[in-house]
Amino acid sequence: MTSIHHQRRWFYALWAALLGAALGAFVLWTVPARKGTARLGVALRLESSDGITAQMGFFAAGKLPQEWTPLDLKDGRFVGMAPVALAFRRWTGAPHSSRCQVGVMLRFQKAGVTRYYPLDLRGDIASGLFAPGRRMTLEYNGLAWERMYEDIPPLSALP
């Protein structure tokens, strides 16, 4: 008489192969297929730029900006350019949300008061307009101090 484990060894081999295939697919899904950087320019004209300093920071899904790039004031507009890290999943080509910077957070300071204004890049990245090796400039005119957030808004509620 043979043991039940010996009779079902094909079953165990099948489960081991399926588990290995699932683990391999998971690793391939989490490692980006394509990575690169694009350059994002910002040109903002505020209603009143007296005594205001501006910075921009990029964020990935669920992560706040870690580094801030100062914006220069030229001809009444805040202007700046910075590299943006992009990463895309294999098979679908969709942006890799945890490894791709999907938004810009603008930080304004005036007389010790800080305000924030988020800009979403997900639509531009998904459509292919903003891709590695490309350059894009966002231009805003007449942004009001009152429309900015007093605290960093929840990233899940971005416009």
Q: Are residues 21 and 52 in the same domain?
A: no
Tell me the C-alpha distance between 24 and 33, whole Å: 14
- 87-143: per-residue pLDDT in tens? 888 888 888 777 888 888 889 998 888 888 888 888 888 888 888 889 999 898 888
Residue 155: its pLDDT value, please? 62
Residue 16 has pLDDT above 90, yes or no: yes
C-alpha 127: how far from chain center: 14
Q: Are residues 101 and 141 in the same domain?
A: yes
Q: Are residues 19 and 73 in the same domain?
A: no
Burial class (CB in 10 A: 0-12, 13-18, 19+), 4: exposed
Q: What is the mean pLDDT of residues 11-24?
A: 93
Q: What residues pair up with 70 in beta bridges, in sequence order?
A: 55
Tell me the C-alpha distance between 92 and 114, whole Å: 39
Q: Domain with 120 in it: what CATH number?
A: 2.60.40
Place 1 in a pLDDT band, splitting at 50, 70 and 90.
Answer: low
Q: Are residues 64 and 92 in the same domain?
A: yes
Q: Are residues 25 and 42 in the same domain?
A: no
Q: Are residues 42 and 103 in the same domain?
A: yes
Confirm if 108 and 147 have CB atoms less than 8 A apart.
Answer: no
Residue 37 has pLDDT above 70, yes or no: yes
Residue 99: its pLDDT value, please? 80
Residue 24: its pLDDT value, please? 94
Q: Are residues 23 and 91 in the same domain?
A: no
Q: Are residues 11 and 41 in the same domain?
A: no
Could you tell me the residue range of the domain that residue 43 belongs to? 34-157
Q: Are residues 105 and 137 in the same domain?
A: yes
SS3 94: coil
Q: Are residues 43 and 22 in the same domain?
A: no
Q: What is the mean pLDDT of residues 24-50?
A: 87
Q: Are residues 43 and 19 in the same domain?
A: no
Domain count, the chain: 2
Give the chain's end-to-end CA distance (angstroms, integer): 69
Residue 110: its pLDDT value, please? 87
Q: Show Cβ contacts of residue 38 under 8 Å, excluding neighbours closer than 6 positions.
A: 83, 84, 86, 130, 131, 132, 133, 134, 135, 136
Closest CA to 45 of 81, 70, 75, 80: 75
Average pLDDT, the chain: 84
- 39-57: per-residue pLDDT in tens? 999 998 888 777 888 999 9
Confirm if 145 and 113 have CB atoms less than 8 A apart.
Answer: no
Residue 157: its pLDDT value, please? 57
Q: Are residues 39 and 108 in the same domain?
A: yes
Confirm if 88 and 98 have CB atoms less than 8 A apart.
Answer: no
Residue 10: its pLDDT value, please? 83
